[in-house]
Structure 1
C-alpha cells in the first residue's frame, strides 16, 4: 500500500481564518539545506478543533509549518500537541504557518 498524503477532508476548513486544534503528529518534514529553513508537521486533528469566524467544519489533517527553523525540539511523530494560528490552503492542504503550540505528550501516554 502506497504512503500517500492525507486527502483533504469532506468537512473543509475555512480558506483563511483562525483555528485552534489538538491532535497527534503523524509525520514531520525536514527540508534540505539548499532550501529556505523550515520545518513541517502533519497533524491528525481530534474532534475538539474549532475555527473562528467560519461556517466550514474542521478537516481531519492540518500541516503546521515553522519558517526559519530546521527543527522544533519535541515535535516528533507520535506526540500530541495543541496549536492555534491562521489557516490557509497551500497545495490543497490546510496549513498553519508559525503556530503557537503546546506539547501535550506522546499519543500512547494519552490513551
Structure 2
C-alpha cells in the first residue's frame, strides 16, 4: 500500500521512499526517526490522497541508528499506525530494504 493511501489507524504494510532521517543528540533519549513518502509523489510532484499528506513518520525507540535506513532508500514497512503531532506515525516497525540510491 502506498503511504498516501494509509488509513488513520491500525496494522498496515506499506512501501515508500525515505525522504529524510533525524539523529537525536547524545544527551536526549535514544530514538531514530525517518520520514517516508511515496516514490511516485516525490518524482512526479503529484498530489497525495487526502488524509496522510503522502508522508509517514517512522520512529525506532531506543536506537540511535538503524542499519540501512538512510535518505534515498526504498523500504517496505509493517506495523501499527497511529497519529502523532499531525502525522501518521509508526513506532518500531518491521522493515525490509527494497532498494538504495547509488552514490555517484
Q: Do the structures match in fold with TM over 0.5?
A: yes
Equivalent positions of 1:91-110 (< 5 A) are 91-107=85-101
Equivalenced residues, count: 91
- Please give the TM-score of this superposition, normalised by the length of structure 2: 0.75
Going from structure 1 to structure 2, the CA distance change for 1:23 and 1:78 (only over 3 Å counts) comes to same
Q: Does 1:22 align with 2:19?
A: no
Q: What value does the CA root-mean-square deviation take over the aligned residues?
A: 2.4
Runs of 4+ in 1 over 2 A off after TM superposition: 11-16, 56-59
Alpha-carbon offset, residue 46 of structure 1: 5.3
Unaligned runs of 5+ in 1: 1-8, 48-55
Alpha-carbon offset, residue 34 of structure 1: 1.6
Unaligned runs of 5+ in 2: 41-49
